Amino acid sequence: MLTGGKVGLRARHKDDIPVLRTELYDDVVNGSRADGRPWRPITPGQEDSRLAVDDKEQSHVPFSVVELDGGALVGTATLWSIDNHNRSAHIGLGLLPSARGKGYGTDVVAVLCHYGFVVRGMQRLQIETLSDNAAMLRSAERNGFVREGVLRSSAWVLGEFLDEVLLGLLVRDWKPDSKPDLKPDLKG
C-alpha cells in the first residue's frame, strides 16, 4: 500500500466495487461529471468496466483509497493513459460523498504523484477536470500542478457544454512535502 498523511492507496478489492458503484457512479449527476462517457445504469451483478481491474492492462492502474485511521474505503484513484515511451500519465480520483471536504483529495494527489514520479519514473503527470470542480483544482495546485490551458466547451455534461481545465506537473517541478510510506499490500 502507498500511504500519505491521511489516506492509503491499495489494490482494488472485490468488495470495494459495490460501494464505489453505488456511491460514485449510480448517482447520475456525479457519474456524469466524473466520466467522459454518457451515464448509463449498470445491471446489478454485471461487471462495471469503470471499476473492474485488469491486472494485464499496463496503461491503467486503479487504486482504492482508504482512510489511514480505521481503514474505511473513501474513494478511488487512478494513474491512467500511461505512456512509458514519453514517460507521462494522467491522474484522477473520486471521493465518496462522506469523504469530501476533509483534505483527502490533496493527499490522494500527493500519493499519486509519488507513485507516478518515484515508482513509475514518469516525467510528466496531467489532470483534466471540469472548470467548476474547485476541490480538484485546489488539490492539484496544492501539489504543484500548473494550469496549462482551458479546453473550451469540451465536456458535454447533463445537457450543456462545460470547459475543462488542463493542469500539468513535471518531475523537475515536483516538491513533495513528505515521502509516502511504501507498504506491501498483502491482501491483494
Nine-digit cell string for 123: 516525467
Nine-digit cell string for 107: 493527499
Of 19 and 45, the one with more pLDDT: 19
- Mean pLDDT of all residues in 82-102: 96
Least confident of 35-49, 51-65, 133-147: 35-49
End-to-end CA distance of the chain: 10
pLDDT band of 39, cuts 50, 70, 90: confident
Q: Which one-letter DSSP state was computed for residue 56?
A: T
pTM of the model: 0.88
Tell me the C-alpha to C-alpha distance, in Å, between residue 131 and each of 12, 21, 147. 29, 24, 11
pLDDT above 60 (res 184): no
CA quadruple 147, 152, 155, 161: dihedral sign: positive
Asked if 125 and 168 touch (Cβ cutoff 8 Å), the reply is yes
pLDDT band of 42, cuts 50, 70, 90: confident
- Mean pLDDT of all residues in 28-57: 78
pLDDT above 70 (res 149): yes
- Mean pLDDT of all residues in 156-160: 93
Q: Give pLDDT, residue 188.
A: 46
Of 49 and 75, the one with more pLDDT: 75
pLDDT, the chain, mean: 90
pLDDT band of 179, cuts 50, 70, 90: low
Helices (H), 5-132: 16-20, 28-34, 104-114
Q: Give pLDDT, residue 88.
A: 98
Tell me the C-alpha to C-alpha distance, in Å, between residue 40 and each of 29, 33, 78, 128. 11, 13, 21, 22
What values do phi and psi take at 92, rounded to 5? Answer: -155, 160
Chain centre to alpha carbon of residue 5: 17
pLDDT above 60 (res 48): yes
Does residue 118 sit in helix, strand or coil?
helix
Nine-digit cell string for 168: 500539468
> CB within 8 A of 152, min separation 6: which ones?
163
